Structure 1
Amino acid sequence: MPPQHQQHYGPQMGGPGGQPQQPYFEYSQCNGRKKALCIGINYFNSKNELKGCINDARNMERFLCNHFGYKKEDVVMLTDDAPNPRQIPTRDNILQAMQWLVGNAQPHDSLFFHYSGHGGQTKDLDGDEDDGYDEVIYPVDHEVNGFIVDDLMHDIMVRPLPPGCRLTAIFDSCHSGTALDLPYIYSTEGKIKEPNLAAEAGQGLLSAVSSYARGDMGGMFKSAMGIVKVATGGQKKAEEVSRRTKTSPADAISWSGCKDSQTSADAYEAGTATGAMSFAFITALSQNPQQSYQMLLVNIREILRAKYSQKPQLSASHPMVCFIWFVSRVCMLTGV
Structure 2
Amino acid sequence: MPTGGYMQSHPPPAGAPNLPPQGMQSFHVPGAPQIGWEFSNCTGKRKALLIGINYFGQRGQLRGCINDVKNMSTFLHDRFNYKREDMVILTDDQQNPRSQPTKQNIMQAMHWLVKDAQPNDSLFFHYSGHGGQTKDLDGDEGDGYDETIFPVDFRYNGHIVDDDMHRIMVAPLKPGVRLTAIFDSCHSGSALDLPYLYSTRGVEKEPNIAKEAASGLFDAMTAYSRGDLGGVAQSAMGIFKRATTGRGAEERAKRTKTSAADVIQWSGSKDSQTSYEPPYVSHEIIGSSRHLT
8 Å CA contact retained: 1:37, 1:77: yes
The code of the aligned residue for 1:260 comes to D
1:49 matched to which residue of 2? Answer: 61
* Aligned residues: CA RMSD: 2.3
Task: Give yes or no for contact 1:13–1:22 (8 Å, CA) kept in 2.
Answer: no
* 1:98-247 matched pairs, under 5 angstroms: 98-205=110-217, 222-232=234-244, 234-247=245-258
Worse-matched range after superposition: 223-232 or 163-172: 223-232
How far does residue 312 in structure 1 lie from its aligned partner after superposition?
1.0
Change (3 A) 1:5 1:142: same
Structure 1: gaps spanning 5 or more residues: 15-20, 268-306, 322-336
Distance 1:83 1:222, change over 3 A: closer
Q: 3-state DSSP class of the match of 2:125?
A: strand
**Distance 1:257-1:61 versus aligned 2 partners, 3 A rule:** same
Instruction: Please state whether the residue corresponding to 1:43 is helix, strand or coil.
Output: coil
Q: Matched residue pairs, number?
A: 275
CA distance in 1, matches of 2:274, 2:225: 21
- From 20, 24, 27, the equivalent of 1:6 is 24
Q: TM-score, normalised by structure 1?
A: 0.76
Shift of 1:266: 2.1
Find the counterpart in structure 1 of residue 10 from structure 2.
none
**Residues 143 and 239, structure 2, Cα contact 8 Å, conserved in 1:** no
Query: Once the two structures are superposed, what CA deviation does each residue of 1:244-287 show, in whole Å capped at 9, x if it has no partner?
Result: 111000011101111111122223xxxxxxxxxxxxxxxxxxxx
The one-letter code matched in structure 2 to 1:183 is: P
Determine helix, strand or coil for the equivalent of 2:270: coil
The 1:95–1:198 alpha-carbon spacing in structure 2 relative to 1, beyond 3 Å, is same
Shift of the 217–172 alpha-carbon distance from structure 1 to 2, 3 Å rule, reads: closer
Q: 2:284 aligns with which of 275, 295, 312?
A: 312
Give 1:227 deviation, angstroms.
3.7
* Matching residue of 1:38: 50
How many Å apart are 1:11 and its aligned residue?
A: 5.7
Deviation of 1:203 (Å): 3.6
Q: Please give the alpha-carbon distance, in whole angstroms, between the structure 2 residues aligned to 1:104 and 1:11.
A: 27
**Is the deviation greater in 25-34 or in 187-196?**
187-196
TM-score between both structures, scaled by the size of structure 2: 0.86
Question: What do the CA deviations read for 1:103-137 (whole angstroms, capped 9, x no partner)?
Answer: 11111100000111111111111111111111111
Identity of aligned residues (%): 61
